Amino acid sequence: MKKEFRESIGRAVGNATLTGALGKFSEAYKVNRAKAYEGIDFEALRSTIAERKSHAAANLELLAETFANNAEALGAKVFRTNDPEQVKEYILKVAQAHDVKSVVKSKSMATEEIHLNAFLEKAGIAVGETDLGEWIIQLAGQKPSHMVMPAIHMTKEEVADLFSKEVDERIENDIPRLVKVARKELRAKFLKADMGISGANIAVAETGSLVLVTNEGNARLVTTLPKVHVALVGIEKLVERFDDIVPILTALPRSATAQLLTSYVSIISGPTPTTDGALKDLHIVLMDNRRSEMANDPKFKQALQCIRCGSCLNVCPIFRLVGGHVFGSIYTGGIGTILTAWFEELHNSEDIQGLCIQCGNCKEICPGKLDIPEMIMEIRRRLVMEKGQPLAQKAIFGIVNNRALFHGMLRAASIAGKPFNSGGFIRHLPLFLSDLTDGRSLPAIAAEPFRDRFPTIQQPADCRETAVFFAGCLIDFAYPEMGEALVRIMNRAGIRVVFPEAQTCCGAPARYSGAYEVAGQNAMDNIQALLADQAEYVVSACPTCTVALAHEFGDTLESLGHREWLPQATALAEKTVDFSTLVKRLVDAGRLTLKEGQQLGALTYHDSCHLKRTLRATEPPRELLRAAGYEVKEMFECDMCCGMGGSYSMKLPELSAPILQRKLHNIKETGAPVVAMDCPGCVMQIRGGFDQDRADVKVKHTVELLAERLES
Amino acid sequence: MYEQFKARAEGVGAEVYRFKDREGALAFILPFLHEEGGAAPPHSCAVWAESPFLEGLDREPLREVAGIRFEVSREAAAAARVGITQAEWALADTGTLVQDQTAVEQRLASSLTDIHIALLPTGNIIPDKIALLSKIDPRASRYIAFITGPSRTADIERVLTIGVHGPERLVIVCVDDMGGPAR
């Protein structure tokens, strides 16, 4: 990680204005967005969008040609190119041919992408942004910090200062007054501009139409007042049919700004009359800039389904801490990381890809059905393939790949760590070893790991089923009592537990770091170990491990070309189940009863990322805890990441810490004395947080709470 | 349908009125212009872009009484307090007006003025965008405008502020019986 990058994170997190504005916005956004989508089947809507847009992405060449033919038939001039330099040259040529002195622009990320303003200004043409946020940014000489709200990082005081300088008159910090100033100043620019430049939100091949979506009304003026209109359109905006605009217009305003529709939507098909009676000179530039290359990449073609609503930024726990400038490029946030890797260069995303904590929030709300976390993982994988792993990481995973050595070191750590054990907390285990080397963290490894305790557990002889227990590193070496609780519960339901000694790290830390070779070796070792016994279930009380076993082994092995392992990976996946889901099934089947009629008081429940968004198990743990006699008091943002993110909390503690603080605050706000969760990683993070915080809140894994409530 | 449209349009800050016929609408519009007036010649108080509503009406008294101009140049529109156009369709589910604004006068009157009065045949309120698809054709209408409430921004501190570049008020005048050949 570059030093400047780290410093920019520090500056952003320390900027109270920025984090305050983004934090408040993201909290309100979630509520408002849900309201805007009332009465709409979001899953059906986004499936339609994904289908139409992926169809377009698969036929870009044909659609671009159809669009060009249809728009030209209406009298527009269409210029197609892959090269941003040619785009700029073309627009300059058009400007010069019309003797253009000044340009007004409505918001266009594509023009930002190619730095068009600077280019035109160098040629002596005055370029005025007219979207209020873009104008503020232009006056401040900054880059947009958010795709939809470019100036969200600035205060009204800062804006008043900028405007005062611009109009040479002291302007007060009153927002309506500031907006009036912008209206007046920009109105004059609109009326005298020789050329208007816009982007487009949608380009319809069938009709040669451009669709522009705005709230301020500036795009209407940009496309109406000057004699020349140039629209710069990235080819990912193409759709095949006119009726494709309906699902996009239904989702875009709702997802972007929680509006049912923006104030204005303009559908422009060919040149229209200007105020002097002639037809407008309309130029449409269809820009590729690696988009069709992206469309041909099996892992990244889905990125072309993006409708640029920016909702992935709005729900991102990291974005609301750092804002957009940390990303250093035009496109920011999760989608920005992916676009930067393509529109610039892969290695330009090297630092920013590390910002993603893989919580999956963005995937849940994306109207284009993009799996942004997956694409960021793919960027990691390719970076590692291209440049190799960082040395320290390579050394660690070298150990993780040798189970005997790895476990040996964990045991050694339990001894070595003892003097420092007073309330210290380790990080996600395979990476805690690097903590040992730089002496930063204080490991609290169990004196006796679960694998040593297991043989001493007495299990009933008359069990009718068998479950293979996958402990995962954390339960095995840090929280063996969770494993013991799980065995007790399984036994009570008539299930014998086996613990294959050869099981090792699930490979998630390696995979999430892009080290697929390591993750692949972990997968193969575990498949062999876990399928060796005949069993009905493979159960884990760690959602991240469960996801690895049930969803990722196959993908990891396939991407490494180990197709011969796929049948076994599938066999393992089919048997794998998370703890709460299995127990709920057993309770429902009458095989397990919890003590009834208990009044155990309130607790609040924290949804772990993988359990909620990959395994989709939100209700089973809550229902079980209620059945056990707890009153579940929901906390604000119960499903927001706790900031652990495996090794994330170690790589970026300055981001992990404030996310954790927010979580602790939300837990405390409920007044519940207990917080339950299903992930030992979350337990470590949140327990560690409360240990520092000194608040009297018990942090428990659901398995521990349920084991106490078994009917004898 | 009207009630839903009205609720949605008012929800985004538009003002919605309904009248039985053109006479009723004029009896609302003229005093409205008078109240908003203040523009003396050569500035007009209002620009009124060609619309079916005007067909068969004697325009001369309107010019005199309310300072309305029917010749919509960019200068006239930029100087006018009020712009009047007629929308063809409205979408009940989002409170949206839809108008073919290929003629530049329609855009000038509805985008440069402070107040936009949009006339609307009440019977042309339809459920949603899907219902609209069969009624508009981008090949025949080169500039189709959707208008939902007044111009707005939240670009400074996320505070919703009305009237950035477009009108700060959108007054929708629904007319049940347009008389004549209104669409």
pLDDT tens per residue, range A349-382:
999 999 999 999 999 999 999 999 999 999 999 9
Within-domain flag for B148 = yes
How crowded is residue A580: how many other Cβ atoms within 10 Å of its Cβ? 26
How confident is residue A441, by pLDDT bands cut at 50, 70 and 90?
very low
Whether residues A217 and B146 touch (CB distance < 8 A) is answered with: no
Whether residues B138 and A269 touch (CB distance < 8 A) is answered with: yes
Within-domain flag for B105 = yes
What residues contact A436, with CB distance under 8 A and at least 6 apart?
Answer: A413, A416, A443
Whether residues A207 and B138 touch (CB distance < 8 A) is answered with: yes
The per-residue DSSP string of A137-165 comes to HHHHT---SSSS-TTTT--HHHHHHHHHH
Nearest by CB to A217, from B129, B155, B165: name it.
Answer: B165
% pLDDT > 70, chain B: 95
- Whole-number Å distance between alpha carbons of A227 and A92: 15
* Chain B residue whose CA is closest to A185: B165
What residues contact A383, with CB distance under 8 A and at least 6 apart?
Answer: A346, A347, A349, A350, A353, A514
Find out whether A304 and A316 touch, Cβ atoms under 8 Å: no
pLDDT at A330: 87
Find out whether A281 and A228 touch, Cβ atoms under 8 Å: yes
How crowded is residue A144: how many other Cβ atoms within 10 Å of its Cβ? 26
Within-domain flag for B89 = yes
CA A572 to chain centre: 28
* Chain A residue whose CA is closest to B156: A156
From the list A660, A602, A659, the residue with the least C-alpha distance to A633 is: A602
Strands (E) located in A176-280: 195-198, 202-204, 209-214, 228-234, 238-239, 264-269
275-314 in A: which are within 8 Å (CB) of B? 275
Within-domain flag for B36 = yes
Strands (E) located in B11-110: 15-21, 46-48, 68-69, 82-86, 89-91, 96-100
Residues of chain B contacting residue A225, judged by C-beta atoms under 8 Å apart: 74
Give yes or no for A154 touching B (CB within 8 A).
Answer: yes
Whether residues A220 and B111 touch (CB distance < 8 A) is answered with: yes
Whether residues B130 and A246 touch (CB distance < 8 A) is answered with: yes
Q: For the residues A18-25, what does the mean pLDDT come to?
A: 87
Give yes or no for A58 touching B (CB within 8 A).
Answer: no
Whether residues B154 and A257 touch (CB distance < 8 A) is answered with: yes
Beta bridge partners of A631: A602
Q: Which two tokens stand for residue A303?
A: 């990125």
In chain B, the number of structural domains is: 1
Q: For the residues A405-424, what does the mean pLDDT come to?
A: 58
Work out how many CB contacts closer than 8 A connect A with B: 161
What residues contact A596, with CB distance under 8 A and at least 6 apart?
Answer: A711
Find out whether B125 and A238 touch, Cβ atoms under 8 Å: no
Q: For the residues A499-513, what does the mean pLDDT come to?
A: 93
Q: Which residues of A62-75 are buried (b: 16+ CB within 10 A; e: fewer)?
A: ebbebbbebbeebb
Q: For the residues A419-425, what does the mean pLDDT come to?
A: 38
Within-domain flag for B10 = yes
Give yes or no for A249 touching B (CB within 8 A).
Answer: yes
Residues of chain A contacting residue B141, judged by C-beta atoms under 8 Å apart: 269
% pLDDT > 90, chain A: 79
Residues of chain A contacting residue B108, judged by C-beta atoms under 8 Å apart: 224, 275
User: DSSP 3-state assignment of B88?
Assistant: coil
Within-domain flag for B183 = no
pLDDT at A431: 45
How crowded is residue A224: how many other Cβ atoms within 10 Å of its Cβ? 27
Within-domain flag for B57 = yes
Within-domain flag for B182 = no
How confident is residue A179, by pLDDT bands cut at 50, 70 and 90?
very high
608-667 in A: which are within 8 Å (CB) of B? none
Report which of residues A556 and A397 the model is more confident about. Answer: A556
Looking up tokens 């005081």 gives: A157
Whether residues B165 and A187 touch (CB distance < 8 A) is answered with: yes
- Whole-number Å distance between alpha carbons of B114 and B43: 14
Q: Which two tokens stand for residue A421?
A: 């054990």
Residues of chain B scoring pLDDT < 70: 38-43, 180-183
Nearest by CB to B158, from A152, A259, A273: name it.
Answer: A152
Whether residues A216 and B95 touch (CB distance < 8 A) is answered with: no
The domain that holds B124 is classified in CATH as 3.40.50.10420
How confident is residue A435, by pLDDT bands cut at 50, 70 and 90?
very low
CATH numbers and ranges of domains, chain A = 42-291 (3.40.50.10420), 398-578 (1.20.1050), 588-707 (3.40.50)
- Whole-number Å distance between alpha carbons of A229 and A448: 73
Give yes or no for A217 touching B (CB within 8 A).
Answer: yes
pLDDT at A175: 94
Q: What is the pLDDT of residues A129-159, one digit of tens each?
A: 999 999 999 999 988 888 888 898 898 999 9
pLDDT at A415: 57
From the list A602, A610, A647, the residue with the least C-alpha distance to A629 is: A602
Residues of chain A contacting residue B163, judged by C-beta atoms under 8 Å apart: 179-180, 183
Residue B104 is part of which domain span? 2-177
395-424 in A: which are within 8 Å (CB) of B? none
B94 to chain A, closest Cα gap in Å: 6
Single pTM value for the model: 0.92
pLDDT at B37: 73
What residues contact B51, with CB distance under 8 A and at least 6 apart?
Answer: B84, B85, B86, B119
Is A207's pLDDT higher than 50?
yes
pLDDT at A352: 94
Mutate to test the interface with A, among B157, B159, B169, B170 (most CBs of A within 10 A): B157
Pairing type for strands A630-632 and A601-605 reads parallel
- Whole-number Å distance between alpha carbons of B49 and B63: 13
Q: Which of A354-363, A434-443, A574-583 has the lowest mean pLDDT?
A: A434-443
